[in-house]
Chains A and B, each alone.
Chain A
Amino acid sequence: MRTVYERWIRWVSRGLPPDRRARWREEWRSDLQALEASGAGPGRILGWAAGLAWTVLMIRRTGATTMTGWMRDVRTAVRGFLREPGFTALALVTLGLGIGVNTAMFSVVNGVVLRPLPYPEPDELVSVATEFPTMDFYDFWVSPPEYFEIREQARSFDEVGGYRAFPMTVGGGDRPERVQAAIATHTLFDVLGVPPALGRSWTDQESLPDAAPTAVLSWELFQRSFGGDRSLVGRDVEVNGASTRVLGVMPAGFDVESQGIELWIPASLDPANRQNRASHYLELVGRLEEGSTLAAARTELDRLVARWDEEAGDRHSLSTSGHPLVVEPFHQEVVGEVRTALLVLLGAVGFVLLIACANVANLLLVRGEGRAREVAIRSALGASRGRLLRLFLVEGLVLSVAGALAGLGLGWLCLDVLRLVQPPDLPRLQEVGLDGWVLLATTGVAAAVGVVFGLAPARRALDRDPAGTLGSESLRTTDSAARQGLRSTLVVAEVALALVLSVGAGLMLRSFDALSGVDPGVRTESVLTFETYLPETDYGTPEEIGAFVSSLTSELEALPGVVSAAATDELPTRQSLAANDIELEGVVRQPDGPPHNADFFSVVTQDYVETLEMPVLEGRDFQAADDASGRPVVLVNRAFAQAFFPGQSAVGRRVRACCGDEEPWYEIVGVLENVRQAGLHEDPGTEIYFHHLQAPQQQWGVVIRTRGEPDALAASARRVMAELDPGLPVARLQSMDGVVGEAMARDRFLTALMAGFAGLALLLAAVGTYGVMSYSVSRRSREMGIRVAMGAPASSVLRLVMLDGLRVAAIGLALGLLGAWGLTGVLDSILFGVDTRDPLSFLVGPTIMGAVALLACWVPARRATRVDPVEALRAD
């Protein structure tokens, strides 16, 4: 132990002027020995050692070795707080919680919403999307011909790039990996202003459809799967089974729209071929020409769209009313969806902080009352009003700085937990950290709180006439109306704020409940799923694909514990809108009817419908005869049947993909119940199911219905895949419940946070109400004593105190309800399936808050009834 203190002496004495350092160092070493020799305990030695730091501070203040006013006030304040550990702990915990959750939440909002995107000159970046208002498609993709036209003709842009993310298989042999990848135009990296860290990206020639395959890797994939071997650049790797030349590696952390893209390949577009006007799939990013503005870009594009409309007049051509372009800041495109939710949460923690401040202010007020006598003595001894004011100010600042430190620690902890929880699709969370802005914001809040806290009790204490306080204070039976009033106002505010949060949390819980209640359309229990991809190099023909898929499902079904196995191109809730044009035999499109377009095309194996236990509403399921040589048949969902064949049977009608006579007609043989293909939030769209032997494709989501826990079969499923073809990836192996759970993850996360904040607010408001009521009862114990002595029954005393407290709470509840009524509108875009004025939330919130207030009043009121009149009257 001794060496620790000696080191401390060495370290702390470095703060002394050099000419005095050696002397004090030696003296302290000597005194340390004497102290230890005297048998002093560890606590005393620690106290002595701590005093050395103070000594150094004092001696450093050359010339003036006494404390100046501020320093002395700090010391007085700290000592005062240490004398009242209960008060101090409560105030610090309250303040720490308030500031802590604010720090964490502000860090998230700052990192996710406020901070500029990690590209050079991010303000110049805009996203360009299309719309089809008649089909309710907003923020829709852009087709390749549209991309070329915008790129060639729009002068507002320095450059325009497009991309689209989807999974691909990287690496061959027995260790293929399924990664998030993207196709991109050769201009994308230029637009974003980020060149590859190693090598280069592809040229326009290398981006043509018949060019040799090339790729650019993310830094993360380069490190993880290729060990960061720089000689990889210029060599070939396998991508979806095809030998692909690695041109370069992007810098660490590079991504677009937080999609976790790890592999970039050319978009294979030919400017000379602009046929595919109906195929919208590109996300467009533009960089504004220097000196140009968002408004100018919008004006120019509007003008161009009007001209293109006149020239073409096709349904898929850009047109002002039917298919306009929308330009937004790219930042908004990236954070848009969560922006509102995060700002609401920031508002919520702001409320928590306000409640915490009100609580601490109340605590300080109560403490200030107790110090009326101290203040009177100080001013009688000649302390000026300025000195006293300063003391209170310093006390407030010391408390809030300590609270801010506690809060900063707590905030750090919260952020760690948050990153651990890793709420999916919360963009940019990995970029979040406690940074300078956060520190500044927290310190600002703390300082403001300090000034307010500091001065409120000071003014109150100074309003008094010292002689009066010393003389007759103790004889007063109750508090003055004004003092009582300020404390009550704070309680009213706390109750009101907590109620607003409770109603908000109630709404979000109701919304989450509604979302959980959404039927995905398939039975999700006891189903194991995984994704794989059959590369065209090995599985090029329908026969090869068909043979693999049927041996896969039969091998899986042979496993013990498996009821049945099937596959689809993309699993429910994970699909994105396809919006394919279709032709319906014998149906003429009505001007006010739906456009002939199906939201989803699904490809399934024969047992898919049965394996996921999807109800067949009409007609039949697929049969063995529906194979490549059979009559082309499809199933449709209920939404499809209702949209295109209202009031009649869809079974027996014929449909085909748009457009042209070479597409075969498919007969509708059955109608299935709707499935939420694009997630639980989205209404099920119109859908057509194809049999995989009649519409073969490469990408597969496998579903396995099991008798027991689906996860128990994970290893067996992997083994079956490895035995059939070790070169195929097994990706996202998880239960169907997990797949659907992912679709609710963000809502679950936001709801949990909101509920947590509301709980915290309730707790703090309860503590505040209880504290004020409790204090008020103790101040009125003399009055209670007199009442009891005069023969008032306990019930009347109870009623008196309760009514007092509940009146305050009722005002708070009323104001809170008004506030909630006005504020819940901001939740509109976040809530699912529940009205912002949901009666249940508006009933339950106040009930809980009322019950909490009742309890917080009842406990002190009970105590009031037990006042012993003799004691109460005798007490000072």
Chain B
Amino acid sequence: MSPIRLTQATALVLVALARGHRHGFEIMEATGLASGTVYPVLHRLEEERAVTSAWEDQDEANQAGRPRRRVYALTPSGQEHAARARRRLVGARDLLGGLEEQGG
């Protein structure tokens, strides 16, 4: 597995993809991250071959009456990264839970 830099934002994007969010706009909605964060992360993940992307079928788009969308999907290595990201986020959640109990 290639050593990709797993920033907080990267982790969130990977987990969102693993959860089945497949378009740039959807990932922003799901993670609450800004466009200026999500697009560069997607670009980087694609460069690092953790993610692939392709255009959706034109007919499908026509049927729904909207422009065709770019569809992102995790590669096998991307899935491993996503799993790692998930573990980290869960750990962070536990840490935050502990902090909240102590009263900040």
Contact = CB atoms under 8 A, between A and B. Distances in A.
Interface stretch (B13-21, B35-43, B79-87, B88-96): B35-43
A27 B56 CA distance: 11
Contacts of B66: 30, 33-34, 37
B29 interface: yes
A38 B68 CA distance: 16
A54 B70 contact: no
Interface in B1-23: 5, 7, 23
Interface string A35-68: 1011000000001111111110011000001100
B43 A52 contact: no
- Interface range for B: 20 to 34
A66 B36 contact: no
A20 to B, nearest CB: 8
Contact of B35 (A26, A47, A65): A47
A431 interface: no
A35 B25 contact: yes
B59 interface: no
Contact of A59 (B28, B38, B40): B40
A47 B34 contact: yes
A155 interface: no
B70 A58 contact: no
A378 interface: no
Nearest to B55: A26
A31 interface: yes
B5 A51 contact: no
A22 B35 CA distance: 18
Contacts of B36: 50-55, 58
B35 A48 contact: yes
B56 to A, nearest CB: 9
B55 to A, nearest CB: 8
A29 interface: yes
Contact of A66 (B29, B44, B70): B44
A141 B90 CA distance: 92
Pick the most buried of A24, A30, A48: most chain B CB atoms within 10 A of its CB: A30
B35 A55 contact: yes
B47 interface: yes
Nearest to A34: B25
B43 A59 contact: yes
Name the interface size band of chain A: 20 to 34
Contacts of B37: 51
A55 B39 contact: yes
B29 A51 contact: no
Nearest to B28: A48
Most chain-A CB neighbours within 10 Å: which of B36, B43, B67, B69? B36
A528 B48 CA distance: 86
Contact of A65 (B23, B25, B34, B44): B44
Contact of A38 (B7, B29, B43, B47): B29
A52 B36 CA distance: 6
Contact of A51 (B26, B35, B44, B68): B35
Contacts of B69: 27, 30-31, 34
A53 B37 CA distance: 11
A99 to B, nearest CB: 29
B40 A58 contact: yes
Contacts of A30: 23, 25, 66-70
A65 B70 contact: no
Contacts of B43: 55, 58-59, 65
A471 B28 CA distance: 39
A27 B44 contact: no
A29 B26 CA distance: 14
A21 to B, nearest CB: 13
B35 A52 contact: yes
Contact of A31 (B7, B25, B34, B44): B25
Nearest to B47: A65
Interface in A460-504: none
A27 B35 contact: no
Contacts of A26: 55, 67-68, 70
A66 B47 contact: no
Best-buried of A24, A59, A66 by chain B (most CB within 10 Å): A66
Interface in A597-645: none
Interface in A1-40: 23-24, 26-27, 29-31, 33-35, 37-38
A66 B25 contact: no
Nearest to A35: B25
A59 to B, nearest CB: 5
A35 B26 CA distance: 9
B68 to A, nearest CB: 7
B42 to A, nearest CB: 9
B40 A31 contact: no
A871 B44 CA distance: 51
B23 A34 contact: yes
Contacts of B25: 30-31, 34-35, 38
A38 B39 CA distance: 19
A27 B40 contact: no
A321 B26 CA distance: 93
A37 B64 CA distance: 12
A50 B25 CA distance: 14
A24 B43 CA distance: 10
Contacts of A50: 35-36
A27 B34 contact: no
B30 to A, nearest CB: 12
A52 B39 CA distance: 8
Contacts of B38: 51
A59 B43 CA distance: 7
Contacts of A49: 35
A197 to B, nearest CB: 55
Given A34-B23, A34-B25, A65-B47, A55 B40 contact: yes
Contact of A33 (B34, B44, B67): B67
A31 B24 contact: yes
A54 B24 CA distance: 15
Contacts of B44: 65-66
A65 B68 contact: no
The 8 closest A-B pairs by CB, nearest first: A51-B36, A51-B35, A54-B36, A58-B40, A55-B39, A65-B44, A31-B25, A27-B70
Interface of A: 23-24, 26-27, 29-31, 33-35, 37-38, 47-55, 58-59, 65-66
18 contacts: A26-B68, A26-B70, A30-B23, A30-B67, A35-B25, A37-B66, A48-B35, A49-B35, A51-B34, A51-B35, A51-B37, A52-B36, A54-B36, A55-B35, A58-B36, A65-B43, A66-B40, A66-B44
Interface of B: 5, 7, 23-26, 28-29, 34-40, 43-44, 47, 55, 66-70
Given A23-B70, A50-B36, A58-B36, 9 more contacts: A26-B67, A26-B68, A26-B70, A29-B67, A51-B37, A55-B39, A55-B43, A59-B39, A65-B43
